[in-house]
């Protein structure tokens, strides 16, 4: 596990109290800007909670984007899907050429969330926790 991934995962889990059965962190990054949101499901709940990523988490993601790591070229990717499930995590990076230029974040994010949490309702009522 890389330091960037470990830091991002720890900070994301802290936002949801570490009690999620599944957590999705979706972020899009470009020079000087970042959007990062958390979606998580607590055990035995049939809904997904939404939280804006706090500043420290956004900074960790942006640092990873700027510096790269191992075989990841700095500033090369445009979107990150970080999923924690059953104590394990997966990270999928999307590169600019893989994004549909006709879509923006408002179109892409709901598709990613629906893929990760099929058929579940999203609770947007407390975005700041």
Q: For the chain of 129 residues, list the mean pLDDT of each consecutive stretch of 10.
A: 84 84 95 96 91 96 92 94 91 95 93 96 92
In this structure, which CATH number among 3.40.47, 2.40.128, 3.30.500, 1.10.3110 belongs to the domain 3-123? Answer: 3.30.500
Q: Return the sign of the alpha-carbon dihedral for residues 73, 55, 80, 78.
A: negative
Q: How is the chain split into domains, by residue range?
A: 3-123
Q: What is the value of pTM for the model shown?
A: 0.93
Q: Give the distance, in angstroms, between the CA of residue 14 and the centroid of all CA atoms in the same chain.
A: 13
CA separation, residue 102 to residues 91, 107, 108, 109 (Å): 24, 9, 10, 14
b/e 46-57 (16+ beta carbons within 10 angstroms → b): eebbbbebbeeb
Look at residues 22, 24, 16, 39 and name the one whose alpha carbon lies nearest to residue 86: 22
d(C-alpha 36, C-alpha 13), whole Å: 14
d(C-alpha 129, C-alpha 126), whole Å: 5
Q: Which two tokens stand for residue 36?
A: 């990062």
Confidence at residue 1, expressed as pLDDT on a 0 to 100 scale: 44
């Amino acid at each position: 596990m890389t330091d960037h991934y470990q830091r991002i995962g720890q900070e994301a889990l802290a936002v949801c109290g570490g009690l999620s059965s599944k957590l999705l962190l979706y972020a899009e990054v470009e020079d000087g800007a970042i959007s990062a949101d958390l979606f998580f499901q607590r055990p035995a709940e049939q809904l997904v909670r939404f939280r804006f990523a706090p500043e420290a988490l956004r900074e960790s993601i942006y640092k990873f984007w700027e510096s790269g790591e191992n075989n990841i070229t700095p500033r090369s990717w445009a979107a990150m899907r970080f999923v924690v499930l059953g104590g394990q995590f997966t990270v999928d990076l999307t590169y600019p050429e893989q994004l549909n230029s006709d879509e923006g974040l408002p179109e892409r994010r709901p598709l990613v969330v629906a893929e990760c949490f099929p058929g579940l309702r999203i609770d947007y009522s407390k975005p700041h926790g």
